[in-house]
Structure 1
Amino acid sequence: MSGLERSILITGGSVRAFAAEYADRKYPKIQALVLNAGLQFPNGVTYTKDDVESTFAIKHVGQALLFHLLRQHLAEKASNVITASGTHDPAQKSGLPDAEYTTAEELAHPSAQSATNSGRQRYATSKLCNVMWTYALDKRLIAAAARGGERYTVNAFDLGLMPGTDLAREALAISPWKWKKVLPRMIPLLRRLVHPNIHSPEESGIALARLAVGEDVTGVSGVYFEGTKKINSSVESHVVGKQEDLWYWTVKHVARDGEELRTFDSF
């Protein structure tokens, strides 16, 4: 995960370089594509070298670009998994500020007012984008399959809170230490006292692998999973107008010319 995160922080061109190298090496078709990257930036708005707000760039824009570039390398019934989070849903009371989607353009280039939003709020909103983009892509895949075209699946996955990862490495000095060294030893207690959806990276990894390649989920698409369970995502994630705003802004932003735009938006 960290390698992809770092490359997007440098430039979206790094994603293109990876995709080009992948094509050059002539690997077998991709059976399962997992898009998983994310960081929190608690100390004010930061931007990538592509001039996109960093949380949104890492968690959504770079991942969407990678999907579009690797799409031609997907197997006939490839599984695509987008890692999201329960933090996108205010009803789950995760402790993060509520996600709030206005437009994709506002997330990419915050106004003076939205720039004052906390980094944790921007993180929750980026997770909402993951779920909305999953639904927007699934709708297009359903239409493509009906015409005899691509038959991929795509699902959103909440891996839960995972103490011990590098998620908090941009936080203040003491927070990463607690996150990396103390909280992983307290997972059973945290599940009882805080929230049941707290896991070790190993536990979440097993659930993620099952969703990506498990026989029992073959053909399942357009679903939000919390671990191994199908659950409802937030009310806002189902707003079609917001899904479409995100989809069209994204393809227009990541496409480098008209031909690529037509390719990215053709299903």
Structure 2
Amino acid sequence: MSTILITGGHSGIGLKCVRQLAAQGIDLVLAGRNPTHLELAASSIRSGAGVKVAIVEMDVSSLVSVRKGAAQCRQMIESGSISGLQAILCNAGATFRGDATYTEDGFELTFATNYLGHFLLVQLLIDSLEGDGRVVFTASGTHDPDTADGKFIGRAVRPDAFALAKTGLDGGKPLPGGTRYTTSKLCTVLHAYELDRRLKVAGLSISSIAYDPGAIAETGLLRDLPGPARALIGSPPVRWLMRRMGLTLGDLTQSGHALADLATGKDFGSGRYYQWKDGVLGETRSATMSYDEELAQALWRDSKTLAGVSPDEEPDCLK
């Protein structure tokens, strides 16, 4: 029996994903901020599919919370209450409009939520994965500034982890909310590719994949819009117009099922970027910057410092 850990698996495409995984008989660990919401989702899945569903309280924007959650996962594996992990799905994420806000660690909330917390989580749990395990990162087509998606809410800028953590770039000028989001997702893709390179150097068969589920009115990028705006974006005429503009639109259920496919399917390559578009899950190219290995290495190095990953703590396979 295999177990899959997912952040943000109690709502949105994450919930659609875990229901699909449970239907395949896969045990689950749901990690999220709200234990009540987690348990409601877990209870529903247990009763419907008869699989084990554990919950772990984890706020990915908080490094302390990520550490506590990862330690709990390790304890469950060591005690035998769950099996070793077959996959880690780094799915939780959000966009925060308006002025920048900061976490208890002093980091900008978008950067911490969408990128840095998951960076630390992978560092702490990568050696809990089975030999053919998988890490899947929910990214976004908005990370590519050369596409219609990437121009929609604000073009991503060249990532500098220390600057992003304080939102200061170009002489300390604060970044708009849309650019904070798109740049955090560019960091996610850079991370996925750098993780793949390091795993291959270590001779491991663990896969690292980035995934764009498309823009979905009920979740992610568009979730915090006012209700009428979400309804308008979800209407067929507006979605037709958005497609004509070249935007990649997702579907709540099908995009969630595609995430489940990426977690368990055999036909997906490591170090690749997959996108759900027009009812099809397929590989595509990501932003030009995402293939910059020097940029990825610098981001990795600085992220270790920001996340407080000590040399003794860093897994040998990632050094």
Please say whether Structure 1 and Structure 2 have the same fold, judged by a TM-score greater than 0.5.
Answer: yes
1:111 and 2:152 matched: no
The answer to whether the 8 Å contact 1:19/1:69 transfers is yes
The equivalences for 1:118-157 within 5 A come to 118-145=176-203, 150-157=204-211
Counterparts in 2 of 1:102 and 1:185: CA distance versus 1, 3 Å: closer
For 1:192 and 1:41, the matched residues in 2 are separated by 24
State the alpha-carbon separation in 2 of the partners of residues 254 and 265 from structure 1.
18
- Aligned pair count? 256
Counterpart CA distance in 2 for 1:128 and 1:195 is 19
Tell me if the contact between 1:9 and 1:48 (Cα under 8 Å) persists in the aligned partners: no
Name the CA distance, whole Å, in 2 between partners of 1:125 and 1:234.
11
Q: 1 CA distance for matches of 2:60 and 2:192?
A: 23
Residue 191 and residue 212 in structure 1: after superposition, are their counterparts in 2 closer, same or farther (change >3 A)? farther
Scaled by the length of structure 1, the TM-score of the pair is 0.86
The percent of aligned pairs where both chains have the same amino acid is: 31
AA partner of residue 69 (structure 1): L
Q: Which moved more, 1:107-116 or 1:33-42?
A: 107-116
1:16: how far off? 1.2
Q: Deviations over 1:185-237 (max 9, x none)?
A: 437535644446212211111111111111222xx110111122111111111
**Which whole-Å CA distance do the structure 2 matches of 1:23 and 1:34 have between them?**
16
2:61 matches 1:4:
no
- Of 193, 214, 223, 2:265 maps to 214
RMSD: 2.3
**1:55-204 alignment, distance < 5 Å:** 55-94=110-149, 95-111=152-168, 113-145=171-203, 150-165=204-219, 167-168=221-222, 170=224, 175-186=225-236, 189-190=240-241, 192-195=243-246, 197-204=248-255
Question: How far off is 1:4 after superposition?
Answer: 3.4
How many angstroms apart in 2 are the aligned matches of 1:77 and 1:179? 43
Q: Take 1:51 and 1:86, find their aligned partners in 2: how far apart are those partners?
A: 28
**What are the superposed Cα offsets for residues 6-28 of structure 1, whole Å, 9 maximum, x if unpaired?**
74376311111111111222221
Give the deviation of 1:96 after TM superposition. 2.1
- Secondary structure of the 1:260 match is coil
Please list every run of 5 or more consecutive structure 2 residues that lacks an aligned counterpart in the other structure: 1-7, 12-30, 35-57
Aligned partner of 1:16 in structure 2 is 67
- Does the 8 Å contact 1:45/1:115 carry over to 2? no
Which structure shows the bigger proportion of residues in helix conformation? 1
Higher strand share: 2
Pick from 272, 275, 279 the counterpart of residue 223 of structure 1. 272
Distance 2:301 2:117 in 1: 15
Q: Distance in 2 between matches of 1:24 and 1:47?
A: 30
Change (3 A) 1:264 1:120: farther
Matched residue of 1:8: which SS? coil
Counterpart residue identity of residue 153, structure 2: L
Q: CA separation of 1:51/1:248 partners in 2, compared to 1, >3 Å: closer, same or farther?
A: same
CA distance in 1, matches of 2:180, 2:97: 9
- With CA pairs under 8 Å and 6+ residues apart, which has the higher RCO, 1 or 2? 1
| Distance 1:44-1:32 versus aligned 2 partners, 3 A rule | same
Q: Which whole-Å CA distance do the structure 2 matches of 1:138 and 1:256 have between them? A: 19
C-alpha change, 1:110 and 1:182, in structure 2 (3 Å) is closer
Query: Which range moves more in the overlay, 82-91 or 192-201?
Result: 192-201
In structure 2, how many angstroms separate the alpha carbons of the residues matched to 1:98 and 1:66? 27
